[in-house]
Structure 1
Amino acid sequence: MKLRCILFILFTTVFAEVHAQGISRRVEALVNAPISSIRGLSVVTDEVVWVSGTQGKAGRSTNGGKTWEWFTVPGCDSCDFRDIEAFSADRAVIMGIAEPARIFLTEDGGQNWKQVYFNDTKGIFLDAMDFRDDKQGVIVGDAMNGRFKGLQTGDGGQTWQDLEMPEAAEGEACFAASGTTLRVLPGKQAFAIASGGVKSRFFRYSGGKWAVIGWPATQGAASKGIFSFAFHGAKNGVAVGGDYVNPKDENNNCLLTADGGNTWFLPRKAPRGYRSAVEYLDRKQLITTGPGGTDLSTDSGQTWEALTDEGFHAVRKAKKGSRVYLAGAKGRIAVLRINDQADGRSK
């Protein structure tokens, strides 16, 4: 049965605060959700936020995290929903990862969930989902029969079709860490995926063709590689990852590109270890997080400074707005507060 409750915020915790160029930035706790681990995070506006995770659960806030509703998708008590894509306060698509892989759609704010995809093929494992708009979406999964698994929709997630994908090397996979090992890119039907494991590469799809690009990311073991990437415009991008069994290792855990992903280079100062998600705040400011901490860059990713030792799995910025939310283990959900000290404004 569906679990539904309203949880009011009883406390506020500021994990840390940093000041630069007259602006203070702090990560502020909102709530501990009744979800063991959250990896799915979708921020529609500054006020509308959806999350998903273990135990077949999802959550929604329509007032900027002040109050939340929690749902258990029927028949999915053991499902791990690693990604969620929301389009409004009412409509969202949620992705369960493995054996069976299942996708559900709600159009009434989580009151009811319709199963729109089911696949119990042995070995199937879905990693990430992204949408270009409210109709066109893509999903990537680990390799089956030598190729990455791909799905696409053109009707907002009502139906899903197989998508031709590139070959994967033995021991190469994507990571279902934050839903951001896949991103749609500027350009008609363009998108990209990042891999890790024995081999880590960048795969870009555009004009009906795949470009396979090597990069200097840490790799060579199942726990290593790129776990997340993001772009600001068509040219500038950042990728983060590392080694999740050696989370303090900074070796080649962050890469930058200025030519749309054709070439990648190391920053001057890397984040402080393994990071599972990265997001642009604007052209200059970026935030990255992982279980071991959260870091901020104010120079387009060239150097990273500690924001807090509090770590999360996922971080996303509002599609229509400026607010940034984080979510992670033990159901923790937080917001990045940015205050312009010159005029006292906070968001």
Structure 2
Amino acid sequence: MKLPKILLIVFIFLGFTAVAQHVEVLSTGSRASLRGVSPIDDNVVWASGSNGNVGRSTDGGRTWEWKTVKGFETRDFRDIEAFDANTAIIIAIAEPAAILKTTDAGKTWKTVFLDSTKGMFLDAMDFYDNNTGVVVGDPIDGKLFIAFTDNNGDTWQAASMEKRPKVDEGEACFASSGGNIKLMRGKNFLAVTGGKNSRLFYNTTPYNLPLMKGKESTGANALAVFNNSISIVGGDFNQRDRHDSCYVFFDEFRKAGSLRFATFPKTPFNYHSGVTFISSAQIIACGLNGVDISGDNGITWKNISTESFHAVRKAKNSDAVFFVGGNTKIGRMVK
């Protein structure tokens, strides 16, 4: 039977809607638990994780070249920052804390930072541009460790104690997704903490977050920034199904450090460890329970995958969005 034209249009629309915005799993295996991901464009994407593993794809994640960094076979690379198909930086936990760089697609790595201070544990890093970057680590003498680079990661300089955020006892950063620090213009930074307390820091100025707190497993895990908006996810990774106090959204951020809270907090959802903006109002978050997307800055959320992922990033030079998780799981959002 021939369908009326209007019904045919409706069915076509519904068909497109049904397949829109889902996550395609590109890779799984037992090689590593992945927590670092850095896509460049539709084709080039890097990933990092446990057992000294770093992966690189040049065909949009369809195939991967994996390398185990010599001398770091038992180490965990919790974050990675890539700049092109040949250049990337990784951070290794724990003592000694190390930052390594490759310029030959991972064939060789140079140690560009090394610190054996007791308690050193690097959690995440971020770059404002190809030259200027920041790394954050767990507290040393009651303050978060902060170091900067202004030469594409070739050298790193630790910030003075006066320029490091002072944290409470039992408060630190989670190294769950490489997402708890964002570098801004002029080496200003935003960082989120968890544990016994959970706060947002603008440099050394703290702002209390209405997230779960009080336990080692609670608090903020990651933040994303788009213009003046800040999206923060967290919860309790030991109680991943709890639906209270897991999300915060700030609608205005000013460089002076003042914050104007939007609906505070926005509609809560369960534990998530990674978050990124897709556009000005579109946010995507991932966690142990799956992937959720919001088109209204977090007021409402739609689950688009039940696959577990630790981290999510939007590509620097395209709209591609990639995810990484346990068991060498890598995913890509399909629109």
Relative to the length of structure 2, the TM-score reads: 0.90
Q: Is residue 2:236 matched to residue 1:236?
A: no
Any gaps of 5 or more consecutive residues in structure 1? 1-17, 339-347
Contact conserved, 2:248 with 2:266, CA < 8 A, in 1? no
TM-aligned CA deviation for residue 284 of structure 1: 2.1
Q: Is residue 2:111 matched to residue 1:115?
A: yes
Contact conserved, 1:32 with 1:332, CA < 8 A, in 2? yes
Overall identity of the aligned pairs, in %: 39
Deviations for 1:52-107, whole angstroms, at most 9, x for unmatched residues? 00000100001111221101111001110000000000000010021111111000
Amino acid at match of 1:184: L
Q: Equivalents in 2 of 1:165, 1:35: separation in Å?
A: 36
Map 1:152-163 → 2, pairs under 5 A = 152-163=148-159
Give the 4+ runs in structure 1 shifted more than 6 A.
18-23
Map 1:1-347 → 2, pairs under 5 A = 24-32=20-28, 35-163=31-159, 164-185=163-184, 187-205=185-203, 210-233=204-227, 235-260=228-253, 262-264=259-261, 265-271=263-269, 273-338=270-335
* Closer/same/farther in 2, CA of residues 139 and 19 from structure 1, 3 Å limit: farther
Amino acid at match of 1:249: R
Contact conserved, 2:222 with 2:234, CA < 8 A, in 1? yes
Q: Equivalents in 1 of 2:39, 2:266: separation in Å?
A: 31
Q: Equivalents in 2 of 1:195, 1:263: separation in Å?
A: 19
Contact conserved, 1:102 with 1:117, CA < 8 A, in 2? yes
Higher mean C-alpha displacement, 255-264 vs 216-225: 255-264
Amino acid at match of 1:99: E
State the match for 2:10 in structure 1: none
* Closer/same/farther in 2, CA of residues 222 and 20 from structure 1, 3 Å limit: farther
TM-aligned CA deviation for residue 252 of structure 1: 0.7
State the match for 1:13 in structure 2: none
Q: Equivalents in 2 of 1:35, 1:102: separation in Å?
A: 22
More helix by share: 2
* Closer/same/farther in 2, CA of residues 131 and 33 from structure 1, 3 Å limit: farther
Any gaps of 5 or more consecutive residues in structure 2? 1-13
Q: Equivalents in 1 of 2:135, 2:276: separation in Å?
A: 19
Contact conserved, 1:59 with 1:70, CA < 8 A, in 2? yes
* Closer/same/farther in 2, CA of residues 20 and 126 from structure 1, 3 Å limit: farther
Count of matched residue pairs: 314
Q: Equivalents in 2 of 1:283, 1:20: separation in Å?
A: 23
State the match for 2:7 in structure 1: none
Q: Equivalents in 2 of 1:224, 1:37: separation in Å?
A: 21
Higher mean C-alpha displacement, 112-121 vs 26-35: 26-35
State the match for 1:4 in structure 2: none
Contact conserved, 2:275 with 2:312, CA < 8 A, in 1? yes
**Superposition CA RMSD, Å:** 1.7
